[in-house]
Amino acid sequence: MSSSDIFIGETIGTAILILLGGGVCAAVTLKASKARNAGWLAITFGWGFAVLSAVYISAPLSGAHLNPAVTLALAIKSGEWSNVPTYFAGQLLGAMIGATLVWVAYYGQFHAHLTDKEIVGGPGAQATAAKAVEAQEKGAGPVLGIFSTGPEIRQAVQNLATEIIGTVVLILAVLTQGLNDKGNGLGVLGGLITALVVVSIGLSLGGPTGYAINPARDLGPRIVHALLPLPNKGGSDWSYAWIPVVGPLIGGAIGAGIYNLAFA
């Protein structure tokens, strides 16, 4: 795979991943969406299908890493580091493009949601809604969850551990079952297995933090949230942003280490 193929493949694949994954979060969250309040099952399966779609689209070009933690783990496994920066760059750019496309696709719903007094508070809002807004974590706006993850209980050590544990599970699945014949990315059957594992992680481990398990998936859309002209959007919660970046990278390294010790 050439550097240009890797960059293009990771950009397209990660954009598809975030478009469909962020799209299901928008569908469940936003006012005037037909899928509003569809719940956690819709989100977890939506993200799983997003992984499946993104892998199958991008695998012929880049091997469909789509996640800096996966790229790091494969580099540790193989000892090949030369393309790591190219993978990282494509993944971050793709995540930003995908998040922007979610905003375009749900433009009217974003506006309706963020100008509704029952959502953002203000004069005339019901007391219960106002209290719900006040109870939100400091610095996190009312639609940030469409773009990035956040904890239900803000406890840095636990939040970091949750992201590490979830990512270790993902990496072990990728390295033991997911790789193509060349071992440099996800294969056809491996993409399906990985997507199902992502659903499992979401259902079992997603409750505490929203399961980023992917630094680009969280950081790229968080940057887009900070830049987009969304009314009453609130903060991008940068005080938490390091956890869904550092946690998955640590998890990726640990997962690769376990694989090298136990399976290689």
Q: How far is the C-alpha of 22 from the C-alpha of 45, rounded, in Å?
A: 12
Identify the pLDDT of residue 183.
85
**176: DSSP letter:** I
**Contact predicate 114/142, CB 8 Å:** yes
Q: How far is the C-alpha of 132 from the C-alpha of 188, rounded, in Å?
A: 44
**Contact predicate 99/224, CB 8 Å:** yes
pLDDT digits (tens, 9 = 90+) for 198-212: 999 999 999 999 999
Q: How far is the C-alpha of 112 from the C-alpha of 125, rounded, in Å?
A: 15
Identify the pLDDT of residue 170.
98
pLDDT digits (tens, 9 = 90+) for 17-36: 999 999 999 999 999 999 99
Q: Which residues contact 35 (CB under 8 A, 6 or more apart)?
A: 24, 27, 28, 42
What value, to the nearest 5°, has the Cα angle with vertex 256 and ends 172 and 188? 50
Identify the pLDDT of residue 123.
56
How many Cα neighbours within 13 Å face the side chain of 19? Answer: 16
3-state secondary structure of 181: coil
Identify the pLDDT of residue 176.
95
Tokens for 187? Answer: 């294969």
Identify the pLDDT of residue 131.
42
State which H helix or E strand residue 97 sits in: helix 84-105
Q: How far is the C-alpha of 41 from the C-alpha of 15, rounded, in Å?
A: 22
Low-confidence ranges of the chain (pLDDT < 50): 125-136
- 140 phi, psi to nearest 5 deg: -105, 120
Rounded to two decimals, the pTM is 0.93
Identify the pLDDT of residue 122.
61
**Contact predicate 71/91, CB 8 Å:** yes
